Amino acid sequence: MNTRAWIVFLDESGVSLLPQIRRTYSPRGRTPLLRHRLNWKRASMAGALGYHSTDPDRGARLCFHLKPGSYDTAGLIEVLEQMKVFYRGERVVLVWDGLSAHWSRAMRAWVAEQDWLTLERLPAYAPELNPVELLWSSLKKRELANLAGDHLADVADATEQGIQRINTNPRLPWSFLAHTGLSIHPPHPPNLRKDQ
C-alpha cells in the first residue's frame, strides 16, 4: 500500500419518504403526530470518508452523492469518477464491503484502468468497521428524524444540511473513525527521558 495515500471508506444507504421515527419531546398531553402520504419513493446516498495515511493535519474529507433509485455498478463508477476529481489525482485506497456491485466484473475492469485507486474489502458482516455507517446514523438521528416530506427533494435538502453540519465540525469524522476502533496514524511514541 502506498504510504502517502488517502484511506477512504465508502458505503451506501437508502432513504425514503417514509419518516425515520425517533423519540422526541412535546408538551404533556400533546402526543406529536407525523402525517405523511405513505409514499415509498426511495433515493440512495453514497458517502466516502477519507483520512490521509501519513498527515492527520490534512483533516478528514467527506464526499457525498445522492440519486433516485438504487446504486448499480454504473452508478458506483459515476461516484468514483467524482471522487477522482475530488482527490485531484492523489492516491486513494478505497475500503468498502462485499456488495456485488463493488466487486463485479465491470467494476474490476474499470478499477484496473485507474492508476490512482486501490480497492480493499472489509471483512464480511462487519459494518461496525466502516465509519460511514456512523455518518448515516448521525444523519438519520438528526436531520432525517421524524421528517415527513412530500417529495424526495425534501429528503435531499435535509440530507444536504446534515452533510454541511458534519463538514463544518472537523472532529466529527474523526470520532466516527475512533468509534470503529480503527486508527490510521500510529500513536506518537512517549517522550523518553534522557536517562532512559
pLDDT per residue rounded down to tens, the chain (196 residues)? 446 899 999 999 887 655 565 566 567 777 665 455 555 567 888 999 999 988 888 889 999 998 888 899 999 999 999 999 999 989 999 999 999 999 999 999 999 999 999 999 999 888 899 999 999 888 887 777 655 666 667 777 888 888 899 989 989 999 999 999 988 865 544 444 445 4
pTM value? 0.80
pLDDT of residue 183: 84
Instruction: Please give the order of strands across the beta sheet that includes 92-96.
Output: 60-68, 42-52, 6-16, 92-96, 117-121
